[in-house]
Amino acid sequence: MRARFGTDGIRGVANTELTPELLLALGRACARALGPGSVLVGRDTRRSGPLLQAALSAGLAAEGTDVCDLGVLPTPGIAFAAASRSVPAFVVSASHNPYRDNGVKVFDATGRKIPRKTEAVIEEALDAVLGTDEADLGDPTVGALTTYAGAHDDYVDHLCASVEGGSLDGLTVVVDAANGAATEVAPLVFARLGARIQTIGATPNGENINDGCGSTHPEALIASVRDSGADLGLALDGDADRLVACDADGNLVDGDVLLALFAADLQAQGRLEGKTIVATVLSNLGLTRAMDAIGVTVVSCPVGDRNVLQAMDAGGFVLGGEQSGHIVFRDRATTGDGILTAVMLCDLVCRAKQPLADLAAGAMTRLPQASATVAVADVASLDDAKPLWAEVAVVEAELADRGRVVVRASGTEAAVRVMVEAPTDEQARAAVARLSAAVAHALGSS
């Protein structure tokens, strides 16, 4: 496997695609591309994490870079540490993927995901390292390998300081930690803020991360909330950079609804800079219509919380996110942060003195949406597939302003994502089936 950056870092099957040898070379390449100095490393709870982090750290140190190990910590916690110390950071994680996968995310010294041009420089350096029998070591200096156990406390302090009301007293919540990186941190945060908390998905064994739990499998959360009579439920993913919530009745609250709630709250306080939020092309058209109704503009950007943050930085906006639950509070974080989002949601519920069900019901009206992932033989030809785009244009004309079509290449696999919003579920599903067939015909099905 030649490691290549996708939508959110580098990913592959651990020990077959993402091997220790590759991570060693990647560490060398990153040290050469980023220059001398110090870096931070951390990981989630996957069995392959210690192996791959050790190889990555060895490659960095072999090039003279000092490496500080933060241990198991949510991705946004590692990004926070990077910004606090003004040094780059590496996260060994595959986010919401199954445990057999793993990956590497890279943050710069501001706590932001590195730009595409830096990824390209790293890939070029990696090709050079892999293309030689013996790396050109140059300076024989070896970087130091150290640990810092206080990163958890620093991150917990940061999250607790974000609560505007000061506490979450009286609120009962169920938190699903996805058997991942938030297993220790999330309960500490909510306990310190005074919430009554029940935790599920908090017994990681290296193989159960995201397995039937977390933001991609909220069924256990819904059942726990209903059984316990909790006020709401909060489901994180394996590296805790996204959140999906549910109300007391078990109704899901996704990233679009969360954006609508936070935008309305900030707008009412006069704190929504530019009266604008940022959302990706996959956000439901209902979000835009809800924002129009309260005088808020929605700026659309490509998928990925890095793209969200770039658009926010460019416009000076404070709120953005994705339907998947990546929410970025630009004045408080440098990337999507699931625990921060959970804390902010609970704080909003407490201040509003209303149940989440009532708040979510009035936030937005969702258009029926259908989607599909089409594995293809030649995803690189998507932009030039004229017959496909002609069919897309026909569907868009039929929907007019009553719906929306998104066809895009996947950032993580050889596939094309198709999404359609329409006045009815039946119309949306029919259009997705029609366009999926057009994609397979144009690019070859795999």
* More confidently predicted of 59 and 3: 59
CA angle in degrees (0–180, nearest 5) for 302-305-307: 40
The 10 Å Cβ neighbour count of residue 116 is: 11
The whole-number pLDDT of residue 405 equals 95
- Please report, in angstroms and rounded to a whole number, the separation of the first and last CA atoms in the chain: 19
pLDDT given for residue 25 in this prediction: 95
Write down the pLDDT at residue 1: 64
Q: What is the mean pLDDT of the chain?
A: 94
pLDDT number for residue 7? 77
Task: Give 169-190 pLDDT, tens digit per residue.
Answer: 999 999 999 999 999 999 999 9
Q: In the predicted model, what is the mean pLDDT of residues 260-283?
A: 96
Q: What percent of the chain has pLDDT over 90?
A: 90
What pLDDT digit, counting tens, does each position of 106-122 carry? 999 999 999 999 999 99
Scored b (16 or more CB within 10 A) or e, 337-375 reads: bbbbbbbbbbbbbbeeeeebbebbeebbebbbbbebebb
99-104: average pLDDT: 97
For residue 164, what pLDDT is reported? 74
Query: Dihedral sign, CA of 238, 344, 371, 11?
Result: negative
The one catalytic residue in 95, 215, 324, 436 is 95
Q: CB-based burial of residue 227 (10 Å sphere; 0-12 exposed, 13-18 middle, 19+ buried)?
A: exposed
Question: Of the given ranges (128-137, 166-175, 222-231, 258-267), which has the lowest mean pLDDT?
Answer: 128-137
pLDDT in tens, 297-350: 999 999 888 899 999 999 999 999 999 999 999 999 999 999 999 999 999 999
95 catalytically annotated: yes
* Pairwise CA distance, residues 325 & 36, whole Å: 35
Q: Which of the four pLDDT bands, split at 50, 70 and 90, describes residue 210?
A: very high
Do the beta carbons of residue 25 and residue 129 sit within 8 Å?
yes
The whole model's pTM is what?
0.92
Domains in the chain (CATH in brackets) are: 10-149 (3.40.120.10), 153-252 (3.40.120.10), 254-337+344-361 (3.40.120.10), 369-443 (3.30.310.50)
Element spanning 12, H or E: strand 10-13
Whether 354 has a pLDDT exceeding 70, the answer reads yes
Confidence of residue 37 (pLDDT cuts 50, 70, 90): very high
- Residue range 3-28: average pLDDT? 92
Percentage above 70 pLDDT, the chain: 98
pLDDT at 140 over 80: no
